[in-house]
Amino acid sequence: MNLFDSEQEQDLLAFELLARRQGYRQIAGIDEAGRGPLAGPVLAAAVILPEGVGLPGVTDSKKLTPAKREMLFDLIMARALAVGVGSADHLLIDRINILQATLTAMQRAIAALAIPPDYLLIDGISAIPLNIPQKTIKRGDSASLSIAAASIIAKVTRDRLMLEFDVRYPGYGFAGHKGYGSASHLEAIVNLGPCEIHRKSFGGVKEYVRGER
C-alpha cells in the first residue's frame, strides 16, 4: 500500500529514511521563523513525524498562503508524534546576535518535545550545540518533510504572536508585515521611534534609538 500521494512527497522523506536505515527512530525536523525581521522574537519548531506519514501539501512555509499554512498547521499537529516550540525574544537577539539566538530557540524547541529525539534534521548550515546526532541541510524546508512541517509550525506560531503585538503596539502595522522591514514599517519607526519589541541592534532600528548612543 502506498502511503504517499505523490513521488514528490515520498522524496521529502528521503533524509528521514536514511536516518532510519542508520538505526535512528525519533527523528526531529527543526526550522525557524523570524530571523530577518526588525521586531519580535525568532521562533523555532521541532517536529517528530511517524514513520511513513502522509502530509499532502506540506512544503516550505514561504511557498504557502497564510490560509494554507493555517490548514496544514492543524494537520501537522494532528498527525505528528511530538511538536515543540521555542523562542528567543528581542532582548536576547540584541545581546547575543541573531544566529546565536536562533540556535537557542532551536534548543528550546527540542527541549519542549514530549518525545526525546535521537536524530536532528536542521534547516540551514549551522549545527545546534547539543549532544544529539544531526544533519544540517541547505534549503531543508524544501527537502525534508519533517523540516517543512517544522517551518509551518514556526511560521504560523510567530505570525499569530505578531497579530497580538499589533494590538499591543498600534501604529507599526505588525499584523501586515509581521515585523519585517517593509517601507511602511520603516516609515513607522522614523515617525514613532522603536517600540519595546524592536531589535535595537538591527539596521533600520538602531539609528532611531533615542538616548542609548
The cell numbers describing 45, all together, are 519548531
Provide the pLDDT confidence category of residue 210 given band limits of 50, 70 and 90.
confident
Average of pLDDT values for 128-147?
96
Check pLDDT > 90 for residue 9: no
Q: What is the pLDDT of residue 211?
A: 59
pLDDT, tens only, 57-76: 998 888 999 999 999 999 99
Q: What is the pTM of this model?
A: 0.93
Domain boundaries, the chain: 7-170
Could you tell me which CATH class the domain 7-170 is placed in?
A: alpha beta
CA dihedral 141, 147, 148, 153 (to 10 degrees): -130
pLDDT, tens only, 138-193: 999 999 999 999 999 999 999 999 999 999 999 999 999 999 999 999 999 999 99
- What separation in angstroms does the CA of 183 have from each of 3, 24, 120, 140, 210? 45, 46, 37, 30, 21
Q: Are the C-beta atoms of 120 and 114 separated by less than 8 Å?
A: no
Q: What is the pLDDT of residue 5?
A: 43
Check pLDDT > 90 for residue 10: no
